[in-house]
Structure 1
Amino acid sequence: MAHKKKLPLEPVTVTIESLSHDGRGVSHVNGKVVFIDEALPGETLDFVYTDSRRDYAEGKVVELHDRNPHRVEPACRHFGSCGGCSFQHVDDAEQIHFKEELLRDQFRRIGKVEIPQIWEALTGPHWGYRRKARMGVKWVAKKGRVLVGFRERRNPFLAEIDSCKVMHPLVGENLLALGEMIAGLTIKDKIPQIEVAIGDNECVLAVRVLEPPTDADKQRLREYAAKLGVTICLQPKGPDSIVPLDGAAEVMPSYSLVEQGVKFNFRPAMFTQVNYEINQKMVTRALAALELNRDDRVLDLFCGLGNFTLPLATLAGHVVGVEGDLPLVNHARENARLNNLQNVEFHAADLSKDVKDQPWSKQKFTKVLLDPSRAGASEVLHNFKHWQPERIVYVSCNPSTLARDAGILVNELGYKLVKAGVMDMFPQTAHVESIALFVK
């Protein structure tokens, strides 16, 4: 068995040079790069090693000598042990500034493209914003308690937290009570996770159960649900197996985009944006940037359950939504019917494969919106030569793949990058959600 080299125990003094893309302080010791949690540029500090590899090392701060002016006291006492947040020690304005600089840098380095104009950042609530989460659950016999929450930072273990400040308060302020309720179940050690899905007027907790709960367990779950005003579902197998506690009709939380007058039903495990306020602002911005009219044929790629597709259909002539996940496509069709939108169609297609032979792909489109996963959209971009859209709005949850794809659009396909900016979908974390506008 490979023996892990002993880490030096003595603290080392360094000055932080910059921030890495995941928000850690970067310094060098004897020519080797060190990533230090919770360290900010310009700070002189003592750190201890937490890991050392061949080409880099990791560490954590033990003492600060100089403080960066943007450093603040973290609002949550679990910050540092819980891995859910990485940025609470940075003031809100500086978090945005860091993300904007990161976006600029990635476009320049990866895409070889300059951002001519930074779009004003979309911001919303900094706390209590998170409405979707998958939380770990663990019965810890030694402590006689059930932990509910997120993993420790750089560790597979669940962090011992009793509240979460970024989660919607209905759940975030009730983690202790939730753990205590689960600790009283006969199957307390057979529950690995809870899927949280909060709609506009319903909070669903889908409890993953490896064994069926007893009648007494169900009664305890029922009482907790009534006391807290939440809906509890059971998930015996995969995400499709989620059923209400009492086997009643399917539970469907919903959210609305008020400005566009569109409402979405969704199943608890389906992908929806976690931050409703930012989602509303993001949809409004994307629609405005596309300058839509009734003559437009719009293509919405990676459309999910229609978060952009349906709002697009309120303004454009015809909209085609394409998504790889068939259950989501069927659900998007349901939502189109629910909103009585007839000028929209949905297709299931794997957008990482060649789609040029699909009937929808043979059409022409005046505008395109795309919102891919972290992997980006490079495989589908070469189809733009055929579609010939005059405007493209690209929404991204990963600046490095957005930068790569921007390079393809600008340097190979002849589009002009007009502007790009960040949207503060995940405050207190280093996660960057961004949007870019390209014009023919």
Structure 2
Amino acid sequence: MNPEDQATRPDVPADALRIESMDLDAQGIAHRADGKVVFVDGALPGEWVSAQVHRKKNNWEAATLTAVHRASSLRVAPRCPHFGLHAGACGGCKMQHLDASAQVAIKQRALEDQLWHLGKVRPELILRPIEGPAWGYRWRARLSVRHVLKKSEVLIGFHERKSRYVADMRECHVLPPAVSALLLPLRALIAGMDARDTCPQIELACGDEVIALVLRHLQPLSAGDQHKLRTFAAEHGVQWWLQPKGPDTAHLLDPEGAAPLAYALSEFGVGLPFRPTDFTQVNPHINRVLVARALRLLQVQRGERVIDWFCGLGNFSLPLATQAGQVLGVEGSAALVARARQNLQANQAAARDGQRFAPTEFVVRDLFEMSPEQLVRDGTADRWLVDPPREGAFALAKALAAIHQARTGAEGAEPLPAGAAGWQPPRRIVYVSCNPATLARDAGLLVHQAGYRCSAAGVVNMFPHTAHVESMAVFDRVDAVNDGGTAKLA
């Protein structure tokens, strides 16, 4: 502690730490007098705290908050009784003690830091954050199930903080209220089943009208257990799916007359049915805004061709098909491509008067093995939408950079692939990311080797109260005619 600071704060112990910032794991960061970094769980920027060190290395220490001597004005009381640093605390959230707007600001700073430190990229414009409800937003969740013999009860929920044990959750405020209210009834249900020791997981998937619960069971369920599930479904208005093995084996307990699991993107007049084990966004409120902004930033014209990389079940592709001249959706999962094709056909059949869907094709391809040759074979597109998993889109960005390097005669560049003479890179790319580190890596390739500039970037608070950072970035080809520019990106 600085002696002058200590002199003006007699109530602060001499060995207290001043928290300077927060990292991506929601740990407060402080420095000792000798420069050693201390990561403090539970501490917030601007606070003076005491902490118990539980791990030491040469250059850093990890500690847990024990006392707050001067609290941050942004510290708030956590809503959930299971959140905190106490033994058995739930590990599902990390930031409930921090004001929701401050969480967004910290995530924005984390995004900018990653872009610069990892990719040496600075966006020309910082987009306004996309925010939504801070509570009841989590329509997708994987809940662990554990029959604890010593306690003679079943636990259902997220894992404890920094532990493989299941938290003793009786309520959860990031789940929809109707689902939170099911936690204790679900515990009683599983406890009364013959299969209480062979059901390790319940996966939640909510649609606009349906709450689906996928029960993972390691052994066949008895007739009595199936009867209990049906009784529970009728009483609580849920839909049971059973999953005996991998995700592809999930099936409805009672398929006859079951309501479809689906969500709508009403702004574009499209609906997307899905299976509960399909990938869909966790937060439907944010997803609607995310899709709308991505398409607004992409600025697609009627005559243009668009490629939607990592297209999934068509979350962006189908809205794009209402605006573009032609759409290609590319995805690594054959099951999701099949779902995307079904969704396209269903939306075409249900199209409103005057609604038009551009010619749209979906193909299966391993996008982690993308090559310049394959990029050329997929044809020229005016614009790209890229929405990869946490691993990012490195192979795609690398293939794009390789073609640019070959055309500019860069030292060590590979020859242009066959047929590349008439191929053109997209004028604009909108990249939706769930991992700022891989976005920064790919942004560095696009900006420094592929001939693009980062026109804009901003965070998307898909997961309030967690350290998860979702974001969106816009890349414009440097040599392209300015057909929108940053003036229209705000």
Cα drift, residue 357 of structure 1: 3.9
State yes or no: 1:417 paired with 2:454: yes
How much does 1:51 deviate?
Answer: 3.6
Larger deviation: 126-135 or 373-382?
373-382
**Is residue 372–residue 396 contact of structure 1 (8 Å, CA) maintained in 2?**
yes
Indicate the residue corresponding to 2:227 in structure 1: 219
Alignment of 1:238-249 (within 5 A): 238-246=246-254, 248=256
Q: CA deviation at 1:248?
A: 4.3
Which of the residues 62, 72, 75 maps onto 1:71? 75
Structure-1 separation of matches of 2:196 and 2:259 = 24
Matches of 2:360 and 2:376, distance apart in 1: 12
Does the residue aligned with 1:189 lie in a helix, a strand or coil? Answer: coil
Paired residues in the alignment total: 430
Instruction: List aligned pairs for 1:71-220, cutoff 5 A.
Output: 71-80=75-84, 81-220=89-228
SS in 1 for 2:474: strand
Deviations 1:4-49 (A, max 9, x none): xxxxxxx973221221122111124565433221211121111113
1:41 aligns with 2:41: no
TM, length-normalised to structure 2 = 0.84
The range that moved more, 170-179 or 282-291, is: 170-179
Structure-1 separation of matches of 2:424 and 2:312: 21
**Residue of structure 2 aligned with 1:430, choices 457, 467, 470:** 467
Q: Point out the more displaced range, 404-413 or 143-152.
A: 404-413
Q: CA deviation at 1:364?
A: 0.4
CA contact (8 A) 2:324 2:358 kept: no
The CA deviation string for residues 303-326 of structure 1, in whole angstroms up to 9 with x for no partner, is 111100111110000010111111
| CA–CA distance in structure 1, aligned partners of residues 189 and 15 of structure 2 | 45
Matching residue within 13, 22, 27 for 1:24: 27
Structure 2 residue 402 is the aligned partner of structure 1 residue 399: no
The answer to whether the 8 Å contact 1:349/1:355 transfers is: no
**Structure 1 residues 187, 362: CA separation in 2 closer, same or farther (over 3 Å shift)?**
closer
Contact 2:456–2:473, Cα closer than 8 Å, also in 1:
yes
The residue type equivalent to 2:455 in the other structure is V
What is the aligned-residue RMSD (CA, Å)? 1.9
Matches within 5 A, 1:229-378: 229-246=237-254, 248=256, 252-340=260-348, 341=357, 343-358=359-374, 361-378=377-394
Give the drift of 1:251: 7.3
Residue type of the alignment partner of 1:314: T
From the superposition, tell whether residues 69 and 114 of structure 1 become closer, same or farther in structure 2 (CA, over 3 Å).
same
Q: 1:201 to 1:12 in 2, by over 3 A?
A: farther
In the alignment, structure 1 segments of 5+ residues that lack a partner are 1-10
Do structure 1's residue 59 and structure 2's residue 63 form an aligned pair? yes
> What is the Cα deviation at residue 252 of structure 1?
4.3
Instruction: Tell me: CA distance 1:329–1:53, structure 2 relative to 1, closer, same or farther (3 Å).
Output: farther
Following the alignment from structure 1 to structure 2, what is the Cα–Cα distance between the partners of residues 211 and 55? Answer: 49
The alpha-carbon deviation at position 174 of structure 1 amounts to 1.9
Q: Relative to structure 1, is the Cα distance of residues 67 and 326 closer, same or farther in structure 2, using a 3 angstrom cutoff?
A: same
Q: CA deviation at 1:52?
A: 4.0
Indicate if the aligned counterparts of 2:326 and 2:359 stay in contact, CA closer than 8 A: yes
1:349-381 Cα shifts (integer Å, max 9, x gaps): 111113444487341010001011111112111
Equivalent position to 1:390, from 391, 413, 427: 427
C-alpha distance in structure 1 between counterparts of 2:161 and 2:375, whole Å:
47
More deviation in 52-61 or 16-25? 52-61
Structure 1: distance between partners of 2:328 and 2:48: 54
Summarize the Cα distance change of 1:46–1:269 in structure 2 as closer, same or farther, 3 Å threshold: same
**Pair 1:333–1:429, CA change in 2 (3 A):** same
Which is worse superposed, 125-134 or 37-46?
37-46
Bigger Rg over Cα: 2
Aligned mates of 2:390, 2:212 — CA distance in 1 = 26
Q: What SS does the aligned partner of 2:271 have?
A: strand
Taking structure 1 as reference, are residues 406 and 173 closer, same or farther at Cα in structure 2, changes over 3 Å only?
same
Match of 1:8 in 2: none
Letter of the aligned partner of 2:180 in structure 1?
G
Q: Are the equivalent residues in 2 in contact too, given 1:16–1:44 (CA < 8 A)?
A: yes
Query: How many angstroms does 1:173 deviate by?
Result: 2.5
One-letter code of the match for 1:421?
A: G
After TM superposition, the structure 1 stretch with the greater mean CA deviation from structure 2, 314-323 or 402-411, is: 402-411
Greater mean alpha carbon deviation, residues 425-434 or residues 251-260 = 251-260
